[in-house]
Amino acid sequence: MGHDSTGTEKGFIYRDGIYTELLPPGWNNMVSNYIGINNSGVVVGSGVDSTGTLKGFIYSDGVYTELLPPGWSRVVAEKINENGVVLGNGSRQ
């Protein structure tokens, strides 16, 4: 994790000499404690979106999928296994 010139904390993937920044579009910051990757290169993580909501995400082949079940107020995605099952925690509103 690192901060860019605006103070935004982002994650990254480094593969074959190439850095890919990790921060879903419109989000303000990543949460550095919670990020995982499986052998297929699918990444899970958590961060804060533009409304201040803590959400999880899945990143695969350049596509982000946000994780926040209906009725929940916050989610932390922690790990992903080889079958693509995500482990996390959170709270309901």
Structural contact between residues 77 and 44, judged by C-beta atoms closer than 8 angstroms: yes
pLDDT digits (tens, 9 = 90+) for 23-76: 999 998 888 677 899 999 999 999 999 999 999 999 999 999 999 999 999 999
Range of the domain at 27: 2-92
Amino acid identity, position 39? N
Q: Cα(91)–Cα(93) distance, rounded to whole angstroms? A: 7
- What is the pTM for the complete model shown? 0.87
Quote the number of domains for the chain: 1
Instruction: Single out the residue of 38, 37, 35, 15 nearest to residue 23, CA to CA.
Output: 35
Q: Which one, of 19, 6, 89, 82, lies nearest residue 54 by Cα? A: 89
Strands 9-15 and 18-22: antiparallel
What are the tens digits of pLDDT across the range 10-24?
A: 888 999 999 998 999
